[in-house]
Structure 1
Amino acid sequence: MTIGAGVPVRDALDSALVALQGAGVDSPRLDAEVLLAHALGVDRAALWLHPEREVTGAATRWFRDAVRRRAVGREPVAYLTGRRGFRHLDLEVDPRVLIPRPETEHLVEALLDLPHGVAVHDVGTGSGAIALALKDERPDLRVGASDVSPGALAVAHANARRLGIDVAFTEGDLLDGVDGGDLHAVVSNPPYVAEGERAALPRDVAAHEPGLALFAGAEGLGVIRPLVTQSAGTAARVLALEVGAGQAPVVRGLVAAAGFDDVTVIRDLAGIERVVVGRR
């Protein structure tokens, strides 16, 4: 991709579009717009409103490099910009954490009707997306979150500080060290990709996102099974889990067998059974 000094926005986008399309990127127009908007420090609407604006200097250099990294190395756009929107929040993300997805927002929605002031714990919090969104939208809740990865917790802590949201973060595997007698709800977007599906993942995901947050044994249930068991041993009345495509029937059975026998399955916008919520 060639972008010289003083190139109008429209031309910079067209040049990036050619490079990204040629590389087989799934969403070349969107990616080009997000990257250029970030380079210029504006929102995407400004690109459409002012297509004649010139891209110069440091913005040109950053945009050219970002498009190359996206096209050649398939680095995710969110890692290139360091940002990802989730619910009403603008989160900082980097390769230490899974990039929050729109379908995970269904987990937050499923818990917005919890009783006033109860305790909720987010297992495998990553960037802190679920925990921070819950606390942002339901400030009365007592929200805790944990992750086995120190790097992920550092990202979550940084997001909480920058956003001014009070969530208690702890390092630990699943519910280890969590006061289960005080819990009302457990929520998690756990690793659920089966090892055999590794080769089928998009390069963006497989090559760049943390495997610890993706893969969970031969069936993809290596984290969900023990988490359901641990949750059953707490006082939690609600257990909400994100699951992979095709996993909902099995997970529904696991959740019901653990005593959360009032089970609801929520589909994402693509119609996939994505969230399993058990109550008791």
Structure 2
Amino acid sequence: MTIASGVPVRDALDSAGVAIRASGSDTPRLDAEVLLAHVLGVRREALFLDPGREVAGPQIRDYQALVRRRAVERAPVAYLVGTRGFRHLELAVDPRALIPRPETELLVEAALGLPHGARVLDVGTGSGAIALALADERPDLAITATDVDEDALAVARENAARLGLDVTFAAGDLLDAVPGARFDAVLSNPPYIPDGDRAGLPADVRDHEPPGALFAGADGLDVYRRLIPQAAAAAPLVAVEVGAGQAAAVEALMRAAGLGSVEARPDLAGILRVVVGRT
């Protein structure tokens, strides 16, 4: 992509969109708009409010560099701009932690109806998305968040400090981070992609997001097999995100762990995405 000095926003977006589309992105125009809004320091909608607006000077070079990283390196847009929206929050994100996805918001919704003062554990918190969204929307809850990855936990702590939200963080593998503790609900978006699916993932996911937050054995269920018995022993409500086609297997694991009432909830695409179990 080459942009001359003083180019109208529309032309800059068109040129960037062509380069990003050629790289295989499913959302080239959106990617181009998000990157340009970031460079200009405005909201995306502002790109279209002033038809005569131009991109010039250092902003052109900065935009070219970001578009090149998106098109050539396949770097995720969220990592390039350093933020990702989740529920009502704008979270800082970088390659230390998985980028939050919209479907994970279903886990937050599963906990919004908890009684006042309930104790909630978010296992594998990553950027802190689930725990911090709950702290934002239900400040009465006592929320703990864990992760085995110290780097990811650092991102979550940084987000909590920046947003001024009260969450207790602990490092460790699954519930080993909080030995003997009891909760009213355990939530988790664990790794669930089968190892054999690695090659088929989009390059921006496969090559840039932390593999420890993505892959979980031959069938993608390795973490659930360890997590669900621990969670069921610690709380009367367990809710986990699952991959496409995994809901039935995870429901069976919940029942085997003593959770008698189990249901799977679909995301907006109709995929059974969250499994909730209660004693």
TM-score range, shorter chain: over 0.9
Kindly, what percent of the aligned residue pairs are identical?
A: 65
How many equivalent residue pairs? 279
- Partner in structure 1 of residue 237 of structure 2: 238
Indicate if the aligned counterparts of 1:96 and 1:151 stay in contact, CA closer than 8 A.
yes
Shift of 1:179: 4.9
Shift of 1:189: 0.2
Whole-angstrom distance in 1 between the partners of 2:155 and 2:136? 17
- The superposition leaves residues 178-231 of structure 1 with CA deviations (integer Å, 9 ceiling, x where unpaired) of 154431110000000010111111111000000000000111011111000111
- Partner in structure 2 of residue 249 of structure 1: 248
Indicate if the aligned counterparts of 2:122 and 2:131 stay in contact, CA closer than 8 A.
yes
- The superposition leaves residues 46-100 of structure 1 with CA deviations (integer Å, 9 ceiling, x where unpaired) of 0111232111223211111010110111100000000000000000000010000
Whole-angstrom distance in 2 between the partners of 1:177 and 1:39? 40
Indicate if the aligned counterparts of 1:10 and 1:52 stay in contact, CA closer than 8 A.
no
Whole-angstrom distance in 1 between the partners of 2:157 and 2:208? 22
Structure 1 pair 35–201 and aligned structure 2 pair: CA distance change class (3 A): same
Aligned positions of 1:179-258 closer than 5 A: 179-234=179-234, 236-258=235-257
Whole-angstrom distance in 2 between the partners of 1:241 and 1:180? 21
- Partner in structure 1 of residue 86 of structure 2: 86
Aligned positions of 1:1-280 closer than 5 A: 1-234=1-234, 236-280=235-279
Letter in 2 for 1:132: L
Whole-angstrom distance in 2 between the partners of 1:249 and 1:188? 17
- 1:264 is paired with a residue whose SS is strand
Shift of 1:177: 3.2
Letter in 2 for 1:86: F
Shift of 1:23: 2.2
Whole-angstrom distance in 1 between the partners of 2:51 and 2:34? 14
Letter in 2 for 1:39: V
- 1:5 is paired with a residue whose SS is coil
Report the TM-score, using the length of structure 2 for normalisation. 0.98
Whole-angstrom distance in 2 between the partners of 1:165 and 1:229? 30
Shift of 1:130: 0.3
Letter in 2 for 1:98: L
Whole-angstrom distance in 2 between the partners of 1:52 and 1:179? 60
- The superposition leaves residues 138-192 of structure 1 with CA deviations (integer Å, 9 ceiling, x where unpaired) of 0000000010111101110110000000100111100013154431110000000
- 2:219 is paired with a residue whose SS is coil
Shift of 1:20: 1.3
Unaligned runs of 5+ in 2: none
Indicate if the aligned counterparts of 1:180 and 1:233 stay in contact, CA closer than 8 A.
no
Whole-angstrom distance in 2 between the partners of 1:215 and 1:22? 28
Whole-angstrom distance in 2 between the partners of 1:8 and 1:278? 54
Letter in 2 for 1:42: V
Question: Once superposed, what is the RMSD of the aligned Cα atoms?
Answer: 1.0
Whole-angstrom distance in 1 between the partners of 2:13 and 2:220? 39
Indicate if the aligned counterparts of 2:146 and 2:177 stay in contact, CA closer than 8 A.
no
